[in-house]
């Protein structure tokens, strides 16, 4: 909603301003989480630009120095119920770069993509496609993946001491291939090939809210 976007943009900008006041470099993360729905790249791009433009405006309003911050957005991706094959990594890269060019000032030095529910291999492929789509980007395009780096490693480890060396090796390999993808030079099989998107829980505050009759029933 408009209110949600405005409030969250203001919160991110205040956080960034407070960080800079104390000598820290803020990482501003306006994530558009993958959600259920069959919406395509056009809709995802519109919403991405809508959110990012509000965040940038809020950063200006709060006197944030753009040259002293990093942006951590999600890529432009279709909904979880959409046919992924209809959105090739080249198309994802095209829409992502277009949206960024439309609203993100070149003063911001770095854009570090989050994986946002993508599988490990999909995240790496899309990262390389974005880099190749815009090799002369005014910002440094890189990654700050969470789940796409950690999920397979945690499964490999499984809480067992004997699995630590293999899990550590896998983490290093995932970091390496994503580093190469960030440079646009990755050209080998992924350490964790295949795998679909990660279904995120759908949170609903209304479903958790107490009913009127229960408000004072402690």
Positions marked catalytic: 29, 72
How far apart CA 13 and CA 18 sit, in angstroms, is 9
CB 62 within 8 A of CB 16: yes
The owner of tokens 């959110």 is: 51
CB 78 within 8 A of CB 86: yes
Please provide the DSSP assignment of 41-83 as one string.
HHHHHHHHHHHHHHHHHHHHHTT--GGG-EE--------TTS-
Residues 108-144, buried b or exposed e (16+ Cβ, 10 A)? beebbbbbbbbbbbbbbbbbbbbbebbeebebebbbe
Give me 31's structure tokens. Answer: 């994530």
Q: List residues bridging with 111 in a β-sheet.
A: 71, 141
How far apart CA 78 and CA 36 sit, in angstroms, is 10
Give me 82's structure tokens. Answer: 């959409």
Long-range contacts of 211-217 (CB under 8 A, 24+ apart): none
Neighbour tally for 74: CB within 10 Å: 21
């Amino acid at each position: 909603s408009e209110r949600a976007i405005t409030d969250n943009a203001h919160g991110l900008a205040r956080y960034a301003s407070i960080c800079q006041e104390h000598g820290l470099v803020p990482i501003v993360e306006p994530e558009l989480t993958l959600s259920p729905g069959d919406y395509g790249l056009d809709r995802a791009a519109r919403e991405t630009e809508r959110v990012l433009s509000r965040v940038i405006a809020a950063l200006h309003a709060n006197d944030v120095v753009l040259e002293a911050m990093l942006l951590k957005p999600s890529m432009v991706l279709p909904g979880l119920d959409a046919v992924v094959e209809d959105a090739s990594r080249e198309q994802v890269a095209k829409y992502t770069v277009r949206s960024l060019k439309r609203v993100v000032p070149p003063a911001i030095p770095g854009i570090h993509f989050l994986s946002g529910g993508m599988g490990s291999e999909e995240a790496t492929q899309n990262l390389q496609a974005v880099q190749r789509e815009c090799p002369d980007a005014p910002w440094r395009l890189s990654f700050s993946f969470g789940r796409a780096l950690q999920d397979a490693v945690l499964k490999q480890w499984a809480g067992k001491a004997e699995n630590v060396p293999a899990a550590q090796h896998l983490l290093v390999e995932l970091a390496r291939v994503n580093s190469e993808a960030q440079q646009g030079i990755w050209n080998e099989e992924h350490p964790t090939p295949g795998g679909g998107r990660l279904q995120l829980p759908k949170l609903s505050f209304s479903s958790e809210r107490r009913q009127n009759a229960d408000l004072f029933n402690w």
